[in-house]
Amino acid sequence: MDDAQRVLCDRMCEWNVSSVAHRLAPELLAICIQVLPLCDRIRASHVSRHWRTVALAFPSIWRDIELGTAHKHALALFRLVLPRSGVAPVDFRYSGSQQAMPRGTLKQLDHLLCDHIHHIRTIEWPGSITSTWFSRPAPLLEAITCDSPDLAQVPEDFLGGVVGRLRSLNLYYLNLPSEICPALTTATHVECGLPWSFRTKNDSDAGHAHLFDQFPKVEVLALRNLRWAHTLPAGPAPSSLRSVSIDANEHSFDFSSVLHGWDLHRVRDVKLRTSDAYAEHFAFIFSDVVALEIYRMRCMLVYRGQTDNGFIRTIVSALAPLPPSDYGPLIAEHAGNTVQIVSGSLQSLTISRVVWSELVALPITLPLLAEVTICVAVYEDYSAPDISELRMQLQTPMLQSIVINAPLGPQDSTTLPSPSRVLGPELPSGSECVEVTAHFGSMVDPETYL
């Protein structure tokens, strides 16, 4: 028996020497295994003794763990793989809703993570922020994503109550404690939804009113479901803040009354979203806009402005579902007020022909406006009223260039809209020397500039 074993071992060594796979350097083989999906990495570790030795000798192979409800034995795989990572930083992602998870899965995941939280780098899972392991120190943890819809308050001993490496926090609901949490003070990217309700009004005041105290280094802030019941900090915002995105979930939300003290003129990118946005509700961030673009994106009206230093200001307002041809008058109704807000600084304007026809009839003075781009919808040459019948009252003393972008009509590709039907018989008052350029057949989305 011993002789037979020696012969087999010798033959195995000879086969290994002649094997193409065995000639690969262990480091190269480890890289090849590492790029495989998790289940294939496990299979590769059982191909041969050599591959298994390499797979277990390089913990970095197992630092990317992605599981979900689609994996039949997700917990068993997690128990198998997590110890193989050694002390290498682990990026863990579990996809799927709580409803689709087998009963008790979150609790068992919580228990397993508690033993390895010291080397978890990122985590994305459908569990709660109040899970046991979130109270343990996590010196390597940089990013957290929790998709649990359960309303839970961030514990005061979050991540052991000590300063770590946390950079990104993404929560379905953000409910902050009244006391400052040291682990949150390093976060630079915060993307969270605000709770629909609170046990008491004081819960709202105690938590979100100190948002900037909890996140003094925040650079990117995205808040969802903002309502009047929420109390946001009066400001000013931290000097590190460079991007703000806020989605209000109430009709005609007045952002100016909530954000006026944030000093958003210092922020590079500001995006506010609500339903039926009125110009006076966002005038405070559009006051220094030099370029303005107004367009429709499905059932959303978008105002996109740019300041002279390149900062972007975007307002997104919900629209009722309508036929494409009916959106023009609705958009034109709001565009005039918006243009009046930026009239003192506006230099470039991009709008649809329908909005233009509304604008030229208004007694507005745009003293710095130099460029106008008018986008004509594909059907407008046939259904829109003739702009030549309108009285020109728009004052544009500095206007130098008008560009007309118009596609060919679907009914008759040989019929082109004349510039006079777009601009009227004469240019706006004070625009005697203007270069007009018409781009017919240009690629204009008929469902955008309406």
311 touches 324 (CB < 8 A): no
Alpha-carbon span 30 to 32, nearest angstrom: 5
Does residue 199 surpass a pLDDT of 50?
no
**Does residue 399 carry a pLDDT above 50?**
yes
Most confidently predicted of 36-50, 317-331, 378-392: 36-50
Q: Report the C-alpha gap between 95 and 126 in whole angstroms.
A: 7
The span from the CA of 205 to the CA of 112, in Å, is 36
pLDDT of residue 274: 86
- CB proximity list for 178: less than 8 A, separation 6 or greater: 206, 207, 210
Look at 304-318, 348-362, 382-396, 401-415 and tell me which has the smallest mean pLDDT.
382-396
Decide which of 136 and 319 is more confident.
Answer: 136
Backbone angles phi, psi at 252, to 5 degrees: 55, 50
Beta strands at 312-318 and 120-125: parallel, antiparallel or unpaired? unpaired
Instruction: Tell me if residue 8 falls in helix, strand or coil.
Output: helix
Distance CA 309, CA 86 (A): 49
Predicted local distance difference test score (pLDDT) of residue 100 = 66
How many C-beta neighbours within 10 Å does residue 391 have?
7
Angstrom distances, CA of residue 93 to CA of 30, 126, 286, 436: 22, 9, 40, 55
How far CA 413 is from CA of 184, 408, 442, in Å, comes to 60, 5, 13
C-alpha distances out from residue 154 to 22, 106, 124, Å: 51, 18, 16
Question: Which token pair is 334?
Answer: 């709001």
The tokens describing 435, both together, are: 């270069």
In this prediction, residue 157 has a pLDDT band, given cuts at 50, 70 and 90, of: confident
Q: Which residue has the tokens 């569990």?
A: 127
pLDDT recorded at residue 241: 94
Closest CA to 57 of 22, 27, 91: 27
Give the total residue count for the chain: 450
Residues 274-298 have a mean pLDDT of 83
CA pseudo-torsion sign 99, 102, 103, 105:
negative
pTM: 0.82
Amino acid letter, 27? E
- Give mean pLDDT, residues 36-58: 89
Q: Which of 142-146, 192-196, 325-329 is predicted most confidently?
A: 142-146
- Adjacent-strand bridge partners of 371: 348, 401
| Highest-pLDDT range among 204-218, 359-373, 431-445 | 359-373
Mean pLDDT for all residues in the chain: 80
**CB neighbourhood size of 307 (10 A):** 18
> Which residues have CB under 8 Å from 25's CB, separation 6+?
none
Omega before 236 within 30 of 0, i.e. cis: yes
CA distances from 383 to 269, 330, 352, 388, 392 (A): 38, 16, 14, 14, 21
Q: If pLDDT is split at 50, 70 and 90, which confidence band does 22 have?
A: low
Each residue's pLDDT tens digit, 233-279: 887 899 999 999 999 877 778 888 888 889 888 999 999 998 876 77
Domain locations along the chain = 23-61, 63-241, 282-450
* Weakest mean pLDDT among 76-80, 192-196, 246-250, 320-324: 320-324
Spell out the residues 6+ positions from residue 63 whose beta carbon is closer than 8 angstroms to its own: 85, 88, 89, 90, 91, 121
CB atoms within 10 A of CB 97: 11
Residue 418 has pLDDT above 60, yes or no: no
Mean pLDDT on 419-432: 58
Which DSSP helix (H) or strand (E) runs through 272? strand 269-275
- 10 pLDDT tier (thresholds 50, 70, 90): low
What pLDDT does 278 receive? 75
Residue-level pLDDT at 339: 86
Amino acid identity of residue 127, one-letter, is G
> When comparing pLDDT for 273 and 296, which is higher?
273
CATH number belonging to domain 63-241? 3.80.10
Cα(383)–Cα(88) distance, rounded to whole angstroms?
66
Q: How confident is the model at residue 299 (pLDDT cuts 50, 70, 90)?
A: confident
* Those residues with Cβ within 8 angstroms of residue 102's Cβ, 6 or more apart along the chain or in another chain: none
Q: Which residue do the tokens 């009223």 mark?
A: 385
Site of tokens 């409803």: 99
